[in-house]
Amino acid sequence: MFTAITRKVSPALAACELEFLPRTAIDLELANAQHATYESYLRECGARVISLPAEPALPDSVFVEDPAVVLDEIAIITRTGAVSRRAEAESLAAALAPFRKLDRIEAPGTLEGGDVLRPLPGQGARTLYVGLSSRTNAEGIRQFAALLQPFGYTVIPVPVLGCLHLKSAASALDSETFLVNRAWINMAPFRDVRLIEVDPQEPWAANVLSLGGTVLMPAGFDRTRATLEQRGYRTRTLDISELRKAEAGVSCMSLRFEDDT
């Protein structure tokens, strides 16, 4: 069964961490409605959605992808680069414990799940690209690689130059193809990967989510969407405009994995 763990929007979302966007007013009611639509889409794709309650004291906690990385054999609880987010980890660890053996990134390492990019399909993909970013450091990547070495994974660091996480600039469309914004990352690690570039006028379009043969992307990136459809991809858009004010993307609001229950 395909499971997706989500978390309701914190009422403190307006106090979120921001690095690459100016702070603007967030309509919390609309953000909640947009998040509910996102969860509904996951269910339409066949997911069992485990929706955790909101964390009023943790503004960024809706972005569940960052405090944990779930792979076929193991879930790694990360140590987020944003200190304000570290308290998010324990409730996610409790939610993941029934499904995976857990391990952890320890100080002084930092790593956030938004920096971990895996080609599709999930089963059997053994190469992971990990962003060296303002949130993920070299020691975090070293620990991550060491924890995964027994399972045969290859971890390839990718310097992130102009955005929060690697997956702000690169997403897997299928087992061989990434959608990328080459202006925000060092492209050298992707020399063996087929690439489709976002439209230059839509730099934030690279974060998408491929599920069930459909590429889910935020509304408002019509040029990039047209490019994907011309290349044969079926697309769907969701309005996450209020959540994007907190530097959200469509991948960061769920932890997605297969389970046998």
Active-site annotation holder among 35, 45, 163, 165: 165
What residue type is 237 in one-letter code? T
Is-catalytic flag, 35? no
Q: Give the span between the Cα atoms of 188 and 182, in whole angstroms.
A: 10
255: nearest Cα among 110, 42, 17: 42
Is-catalytic flag, 252? yes
Asked if 10 and 61 count as a contact pair (C-beta separation under 8 A), the reply is yes
Q: Give the span between the Cα atoms of 77 and 67, in whole angstroms.
A: 6
DSSP run (H or E) holding 5:
strand 2-7
Q: Give the span between the Cα atoms of 33 and 229, in whole angstroms.
A: 28
**Other residues' Cβ atoms within 10 Å of the Cβ of residue 188:** 9
Q: Give the span between the Cα atoms of 97 and 120, in whole angstroms.
A: 24
Per DSSP bridges, beta strands 48-52 and 177-180 are unpaired
Active-site annotation holder among 16, 45, 163, 252: 252
136: nearest Cα among 65, 191, 71, 75: 65
Catalytic residues: 165, 252
